[in-house]
Amino acid sequence: MIEPSSNSLAVSARNLVRSYGGVPVLSLNEVTFTSERVHVIVGPNGAGKTTLLRLIAGIERPDRGELRILGRDPWEQSRRQALALRRRVGFAAQKPYLFRTSVRRNVEYPLRVRGVSGSKLEELAQASMKKLGVAHLAERNARTLSAGEAQRISIARATVTEPELLLLDEPLANIDPEGAPVIEELCRELESQGVTVIVATHVLEQAFRLSARVVRLEGGRMMPPAVENLLEGELIDAEEEAQAVLALEGGLRLDVATEQRGRARATIEPRDIVVSAESFRSSARNSLPGRVTKLEDRRGLVYVTADVGVPLVSIVTHQSFQELGITVGSGVVFTFKATAVRVF
């Protein structure tokens, strides 16, 4: 039994199974999404992302397992309670359905069904359309718009009621390049206002641009964290223009090859980190001494975790591992090129 656990969890699921025609498309042991944060579900097409969002939105019913939305099981509520719960959740589908009417009426719809009218209705709808950059389309027939415009309108419509939990399925799928920052900014703004946002995407870069809380879904199952060595820090100027320094909390500074500046997330592919007992001369810009904290044998490869100011993982072969002769607590140096740091 999953406890509602006050307000800390917006969504919690345990042993959740959803099948189509007897074939399970989603099978999750335990998944939780904390409140007031942006979460991203990343995975290829057909991974079960949409199914999970549809279950959370209450459009589909799980075959088995427990699912709690904002502390409640949506399928164990009275009609009135179920409606009240649905009204706390916003959902923008990957292929949005826009009603056969004007854009304005589409965005006003969730307000109208809640009994909002008059100037407040106009005000809220206008503000939402403006935020998504679609105010100029207000009087257009919603069925005559491009896929990108439809997606933005769908998001404006889902957010107009200021839901506590917002579900966005592939919000950037059809959005033009100029539209992407609008959605990213919206997610950040909503998070700062205490809204829980769950975004599904198949693009890893997008996932990390939106949040550091990324879960990976593949074949209907939750996989280990999407990437190893996820770092968050401030990109500041380096000596050369095409380079930057990623200043991490705790004082660690990494050389990075990017023109991007400001707050950013980055990852380092474990295979790109060279492990050595001592530092050596090379072209690699980052050489970090530290101590081994964990050694793991996974499918014939050794995962070496060392604390170099932050915990980083490298992968070495058994042969290299034996030649190095390292154990937990050994001193090592992790070396990698500035270009090995992938900035989002």
Q: Which stretch binds other proteins (CB under 8 A): 100-108, 286-294, 300-308, 332-340?
A: 100-108
Q: Which stretch binds other proteins (CB under 8 A): 9-17, 153-161, 223-231, 239-247?
A: 153-161
Query: Minimum CB separation from other proteins for residue 79, in Å?
Result: 7
Which C-beta is closer to other proteins: that of 156 or that of 210? 156
d(CA 92, CA 189): 17
The residue from 16, 26, 93, 124 that contacts other proteins (CB under 8 A) is: 93
Query: Minimum CB separation from other proteins for residue 230, in Å?
Result: 32
The residue from 110, 171, 233, 290 that contacts other proteins (CB under 8 A) is: 110
Structure tokens at 93: 């589908």
**How would you class 25 by CB atoms within 10 Å of its CB: exposed for 0-12, middle for 13-18, buried for 19 or more?**
middle
For residue 56, which of 12, 94, 22 has the smallest C-alpha distance? Answer: 12
Position 157 contacts other proteins (CB under 8 A): yes
Beta bridge partners of 304: 295, 314
Query: Minimum CB separation from other proteins for residue 101, in Å?
Result: 5
Which C-beta is closer to other proteins: that of 96 or that of 290? 96
Position 328 contacts other proteins (CB under 8 A): no
Beta bridge partners of 27: 17
- Number of Cβ atoms within 10 Å of the Cβ of 36: 16
Structure tokens at 272: 């790109």
Q: In Å, how far are 66, 230, 295, 338 from 287, measured between CA atoms?
A: 47, 18, 20, 10
The residue from 24, 25, 77, 109 that contacts other proteins (CB under 8 A) is: 109
Query: Minimum CB separation from other proteins for residue 114, in Å?
Result: 6
Query: Minimum CB separation from other proteins for residue 87, in Å?
Result: 4
- CA angle at 119 for the pair 115 and 124, rounded to the nearest 5°: 75
Position 120 contacts other proteins (CB under 8 A): no
The residue from 7, 97, 147, 322 that contacts other proteins (CB under 8 A) is: 97
Position 161 contacts other proteins (CB under 8 A): yes
Task: For residue 118, give the H/E element and its range.
Answer: helix 118-131
CB-based contact 73:246 (threshold 8 Å): no
Which C-beta is closer to other proteins: that of 56 or that of 341? 56
Which C-beta is closer to other proteins: that of 59 or that of 328? 59
Position 86 contacts other proteins (CB under 8 A): yes
Q: In Å, how far are 90, 194, 203, 259 from 160, measured between CA atoms?
A: 9, 15, 26, 36
Strand segments, DSSP code E, in the chain are: 9-20, 23-34, 38-42, 64-69, 89-92, 165-169, 196-201, 213-218, 221-223, 230-237, 244-248, 253-256, 262-268, 274-276, 286-298, 301-307, 311-317, 331-336, 341-343
Position 59 contacts other proteins (CB under 8 A): yes
Which C-beta is closer to other proteins: that of 99 or that of 280? 99
Query: Minimum CB separation from other proteins for residue 66, in Å?
Result: 21
Helix axes 103-112, 147-159, angle to 10 degrees: 20
Q: Which stretch binds other proteins (CB under 8 A): 9-17, 89-97, 188-196, 250-258?
A: 89-97
Query: Minimum CB separation from other proteins for residue 128, in Å?
Result: 13
Q: Beta 213-218 vs 196-201: how paired, if at all?
A: unpaired
d(CA 313, CA 302): 10
Query: Minimum CB separation from other proteins for residue 111, in Å?
Result: 9
Position 72 contacts other proteins (CB under 8 A): no
Position 147 contacts other proteins (CB under 8 A): no
Kindly list the residues in this chain that would bind other proteins in the complex (CB under 8 A): 57-59, 79, 83, 86-87, 89-91, 93, 95-97, 99-102, 105, 109-110, 113-114, 141, 157-158, 161
